[in-house]
Amino acid sequence: MKNQKIIDLKKKYWFNIKKRPEIVILEGWCVGAKSQSNLLLKKPVNILEKYEDKDLRWRNYVNEKLKTEYKNLFSMIDYFIFIKIPNFKSVYKWRLLQENKLRKKSHLNKKIMSYKEIKRFIMFYQRITLQMVKDLSKSASVVMFLKKNHENKKVLFKL
């Protein structure tokens, strides 16, 4: 990992695949997220939404993207593997742990978030994360239940 290079993902650096791949993995925090009803959107899930999104502008924007563009993208996925968190507090703790590891590698010259910055950052994703826990825990092809220490508690296959 010490000599790892960051790859520029400009189009000129893309790989040209001649054959159709058997497997394509799309990984990300919000992969598979679904939109919510207007009723659910109205109730803030945290102080960021309560005080900084009173007019629901951000919530409606994100929800609209989930209803359209992301729904189209996610509909192309045949199987979901969902990694289920033990609770939402774990997201804060795990992100703080990640930032602390980055801080120890200070030679990376990356901006390291403070605890307050992490809390704020996580709040932007809280609504989607909590909804995904409800939705994908039931509908994913594979659900990996994590313990608070990041270890697997159990894996449920619904193929």
Give the model confidence (pLDDT) of 37-72 as tens digits: 999 999 999 999 999 999 999 999 999 999 999 999
pLDDT at 4: 42
Q: Give every CB contact of residue 30 below 8 A, 6+ residues apart in sequence.
A: 70, 125, 128, 129, 132
| Distance between first and last Cα of the chain | 35
User: What count of other Cβ atoms lies within 10 Å of the Cβ of residue 32?
Assistant: 18
What is the pLDDT of the chain when averaged over all its residues? 89
Cβ(52)–Cβ(110) under 8 Å? no
pLDDT tens-digit map of 134-155: 999 999 999 999 999 999 999 9
% residues pLDDT > 70 (the chain): 92
CATH of domain 31-157: 3.40.50.300
* Predicted pLDDT of residue 3: 43
pLDDT bin (cut points 50, 70, 90) of residue 1 is very low
Strands 81-84 and 142-146: parallel
Per-domain boundaries in the chain: 31-157
